[in-house]
Amino acid sequence: MKKQPTHFMATVKVGPKGQVVIPKEIREMFGIEPGDSVMVMADSSRGIAIHKQSVMEDIAKAIFEGKSQTFDPDGDSADLTGFASAIEETKEKGQVSK
């Protein structure tokens, strides 16, 4: 059995419509299959993150169930609840900006 890498770095080009291709190695690492949805999150000072939508939905569910300490032991529960709400809103609308 081939060992899965734990780190991978690649350079990708942004296409004319703002599209990028997630390299195969990264798709395999995170189990991203054709047709899966991913969430793109951006913070002007911290950068861009891409996560599989199902993972983010699991995080939102845990926060709503009062398990936010699992993800951010020092976090403000109100902030985390707002974050979870934004995840749910993204799921429902397909897009959200905050």
Domain positions in the chain: 37-90
- The pLDDT tens digits for 81-98 are 777 777 777 766 665 444
> Within a 10 A sphere around the Cβ of 66, how many other Cβ atoms?
9
Q: Write down the pTM of the prediction.
A: 0.59
| Percent of the chain with pLDDT strictly greater than 70 | 78
Tokens coding 52: 């599989």
- The pLDDT tens digits for 5-23 are 788 889 999 999 999 999 9
Tokens coding 56: 């983010």
